[in-house]
Structure 1
Amino acid sequence: MGKAQKTARRLIVHLGVQKTGSTGLQRHLQLNADALADRLILLTPEKGSPMRPLGRAAVAYSLAPAEKTARALEDALREVLVTLPDNDLPVLLSHENLAGAMPGNGGETALYPALPQITRIVRETAADFAVDFVIYTREMSNWKPSVWAQAVRTDGYARTLPDFLDETKALPAWDDLIARIENVIGAANIISVRLEDEPKDGHPGRLLLRHAGLPDAQIDALDPLDETANPRFNSGSTEFLRRLNEAALNPHARGKVVDLVARAQHLFTADTPSEGTL
């Protein structure tokens, strides 16, 4: 009898997208990294890790899809995969920027037009793995204002929320994005999860961990996350940064101002609490 064929190592790729709870999910994973170490290999965008360049390469490809940016994305993913320990544990890779540029970043106004091609590049580059993808969605009426606030904060977006909503009024529903991905990699390889279906029990990413093979009892035993991750700036702080963005300040200097605003939001409003948490 011949040797049994070795099963390919599993690679679960969490694509985000931005403003669907990815930061809290990743913090929860890192908080419990030791407890998960014998069950999952975790890859999140930690400072100094090759995951950071991977996210930047995906955004760059999405804004300018071409042979050069595609090769850069492939190379960035290989730099991540080469760091994996030599064992058979499933790998959970989580990076919201793998989805590409969100609306408001770099002039993007569509709903992740390059994401189907990004999933194809990832799957082909990780051909030795059994790859599947998980994408979180969020109700559009809540998602768009949160994306706008994040674009103002991190991407230098300078237009108002009504302007942003007008720019993105033609965005299709999430089903359209999922269908476009399925057309490229097949329906069996993409899992769509609604953020609203996540239990609010201190264990963000429960549905992702279930997909990775962890039973609820093991997830319940993990340390809960007891803080709000990546809270949205209050309205006064966001408006201050939006107007600052109109001045086209040097990016380094602007980053310093954003850090100051993050630490002193009370200076921009005395009465209004932070609007939302995502």
Structure 2
Amino acid sequence: MALIERGEVGSARGQPPGKPGGDGETSTYGDVLGNPQLQRWALRIGVATVIGVLFAIVFDLRVGVTVAIIAVIADTVRKARSVPSDQAHRRASAAERKTARQLRGLTKQGWHILHARAVPRDSEGVSDGKIDHLVIGPTGVYAIDSEQWDKRLPVRTLSHLKLFHGPFEKKDRLDEARWEANQASRLLSKAIGVEIPVQPSVAIYGPAIPWRIMTVRNVDVYAGGTARKYLRKKPKVLTAEEVERIAEVARTALPSKFPE
């Protein structure tokens, strides 16, 4: 992902009505009512109220109130899990910077680290996929995605087929990481003329990871702080010349997602 920061918007964010904002002006009720977060909650409660009234008419008041509460909770959970959001982008970019700092030292040892590489999704080269860090070195080629997760929720696996963060299954995240790596492998292999495998992996920051490296759905999963060790501990499979050749091709086949 891109190593960019999104600035805070709104100098008076978080200030109660009638209190001075960050720019020295006084917030008004109009400012508060224009708050997108407040508008979302108003809409959420309004919809839930309508649903609750309908159920109360058909059944009884108790059922109506229960259904309305469930509707609010369900919509809140759905919005919290939706991606992307500004807050999610900020968390992700922080995780990417942590991984980038770890990988920086590898360049002196003959490794090539390419950040935020675009992945074409169709025959016309249109892309909405992105590899956070494409790493080429003596032990192979890797597509690393950096993730910042809530440290309060545990991480666990089930039979190397499912990855959970608290109650949330991360199948889609693993499938996306694997798809990105497969696309990178396809493009590099086509350009060079020989098979170039690309290993997908996810570096997780935040919660404790109860293993060193776990392969789930063919994706390596590990604690973000061990990313450098993860790359270096594997056996060497590429010569220095091969590393240079693959890196040269990768810069063209997988261009930067955010060109300057």
Fold shared, TM-score > 0.5 on shorter chain: no
TM-score (norm 2): 0.26
More strand, by proportion: 2
Q: Which has the higher contact order (CA 8 A, sep 6+)?
A: 1
